[in-house]
Amino acid sequence: MSGIRSSIAAIALAWVSALAFAQGSAGDPLAVGRQMLAEDNPGELWIDKGKQLFYAKRGPNSVSLEQCDFGMGPGKLEGAAAQLPRHFPDTGKVQDLESRLLTCMVRLQGFKREDLIKRAISPGGSSGSDVEALALYITSRSNGMKVNVSLSHQQEYDTYKAGEYLFFRRSGQTDFGCVQCHGEANKRIRLQDLIHMTDKKGAQEVASTWPAYRGAHYVVRTMQWRLADCFWQMRLPDMAYGSDLSVALTMYLNTQGNGAVIKVPGFKR
């Protein structure tokens, strides 16, 4: 199975590279390839896997995730991811999709939080982690719906402001801030376009396309992974999975992206 998946992905990637060469410096040489990939996204395979995991009786308590409340009531997934992060009275915290998922896997299923965190981000080329598949399945139940993050609870507003502060703050030995790479149009590192996130359209792309199939890793990746990877690029200390800091950044980005129509899995190079 994973052999087939890798081959599909390898062919697709080769295609993008070929197109990039063929088109040389044309306006956006990768756009055609991206479109083709989006139409035949290997990440779709993880949706089924996530669905099976969601309804399977798992963990020390041998229960499914059907009683997990992502903000719309236990087990109600339609549109739930579109409104995340949000404040949850039962934890007293603002949570994004992945930190909420951890809460349910610990409280309902009895998994150990440390174990889940250790495995949440899978090695490249593997068949992916449970958390990655679940995050994709749950988000896919909001496909076609608009991102609609609310700041009406005080903690939601405070989390948003913290995320905004973090996005603009320069830190660490390289003195990098997110805004330096993502605060202007038409920036690139090597061949990679850097999404302009202080622009509504760029923020909307971010808020509506994760979890995404990551071509270079042959695996579905989540927002927590993406943020952790940018932390690494900035040479900051490792970002703790599901930390308040990561939720704050997601709160900032998703709120900026309000109104975007969700379409996951996205496809990233």
Residues that bind ligand HEC in the complex, under the rule CB under 6 A: 167, 176, 178, 180-182, 189, 192-195, 205-206, 209, 226-227, 230-231, 233-234, 249, 253, 268-269
State in angstroms the smallest separation of the CB of 183 from ligand HEC: 10
* CA separation for the pair 70, 86 (Å, rounded): 9
Between 200 and 269, name the residue whose CB sits nearer to ligand HEC.
Answer: 269
State in angstroms the smallest separation of the CB of 267 from ligand HEC: 10
Residue identified by tokens 């992916």 is 128
Between 113 and 146, name the residue whose CB sits nearer to ligand HEC.
Answer: 146
State in angstroms the smallest separation of the CB of 27 from ligand HEC: 17
Between 64 and 258, name the residue whose CB sits nearer to ligand HEC.
Answer: 258
- Residue 14 contacts by C-beta under 8 Å, 6 or more apart in sequence? none
- CA 24: distance to chain centroid? 31
* CA separation for the pair 43, 61 (Å, rounded): 30
* CA separation for the pair 42, 220 (Å, rounded): 9
Between 117 and 194, name the residue whose CB sits nearer to ligand HEC.
Answer: 194
- CA 3: distance to chain centroid? 25
Residue type, 239: M
Nearest residue to 240 via CA among 124, 121, 138, 110: 121
State in angstroms the smallest separation of the CB of 231 from ligand HEC: 6
Radius of gyration of the chain (CA): 18
What residue number has its CB nearest to ligand HEC? 178
Between 136 and 249, name the residue whose CB sits nearer to ligand HEC.
Answer: 249
State in angstroms the smallest separation of the CB of 259 from ligand HEC: 16
